[in-house]
């Protein structure tokens, strides 16, 4: 009832929480400031997360909000179906199938569409050399302009070269975004039409 209209929401889940929601079990929400090890395990180690989560549920000293998992799942799916403004990121799938080792560089955030999954780290106001922000450097090829898929090859090569040059050419809002983008040089080319 109190949602902000026209705001996109990114929700991160894992297999453990999904199973609990499907069964209709309760989901207990904790502040990441009170359970930092649980927060870290959520991204880096799913087995450890499940163990710590259950221990945290037993610890009566921790502040919490408990919601019915079935109700939460229905709320997420209804909101997604009616507004298309909720984007789900399954952190265990991103970690298991991504390009980075979750024990070394866990993926803790992404853009809403989860097109890019790159490591990030907190920024420092005191030291602008600290932190890492991932940016989307994306393009698309209009499939409707080609009769055969192989005809796209030179245009895909051109898009790769253009995106690669944009990484060096563009201005960045903060040093952490520039450093991450130039070091990792992650690009994406999709298909439209």
Choice among 57, 93, 111, 178 that is catalytic? 111
Q: Does the active-site annotation cover 136?
A: no
Q: Which two tokens stand for residue 68?
A: 């019915």
Query: Checking phi first, is residue 114 left (phi over 0); if not, alpha (psi -120 to 50) or beta?
Result: left
Quickly count: other Cβ atoms within 10 Å of residue 130's Cβ.
Answer: 13
Q: Does the active-site annotation cover 113?
A: yes
Q: Which two tokens stand for residue 110?
A: 């992404």
Q: Which two tokens stand for residue 85?
A: 């403004």
How many angstroms separate the CA atoms of 113 and 106, rounded? 18
Choice among 115, 142, 151, 164 that is catalytic? 115
Q: Does the active-site annotation cover 111?
A: yes
- Tell me which H or E stretch contains 95: helix 91-97
Length of the chain: 193
Choice among 113, 151, 156, 164 that is catalytic? 113
What amino acid positions are annotated as catalytic residues? 111, 113, 115
């Amino acid at each position: 009832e109190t949602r902000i209209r026209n705001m996109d929401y990114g929700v991160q889940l894992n297999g453990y929480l999904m199973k609990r929601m499907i069964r209709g079990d309760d989901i207990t929400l904790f502040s990441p400031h009170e359970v930092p090890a649980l927060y870290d395990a959520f991204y880096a180690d799913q087995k450890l997360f499940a163990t710590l989560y259950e221990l945290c549920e037993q610890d009566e000293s921790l502040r919490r909000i408990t919601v019915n998992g079935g109700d939460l799942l229905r709320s997420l799916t209804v909101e997604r179906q009616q507004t298309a403004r909720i984007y789900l990121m399954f952190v265990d799938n991103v970690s298991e199938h991504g390009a980075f080792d979750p024990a070394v560089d866990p993926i803790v955030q992404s853009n809403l569409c989860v097109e890019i999954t790159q490591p990030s780290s907190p920024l420092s106001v005191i030291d602008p050399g600290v932190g890492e922000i991932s940016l989307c450097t994306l393009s698309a090829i209009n499939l409707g302009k080609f009769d055969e898929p192989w005809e796209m090859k030179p245009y895909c090569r051109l898009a790769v070269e253009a995106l690669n040059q944009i990484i060096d050419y563009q201005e960045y809002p903060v040093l952490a975004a520039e450093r991450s983008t130039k070091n990792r040089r992650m690009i994406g080319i999709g298909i439209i039409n």
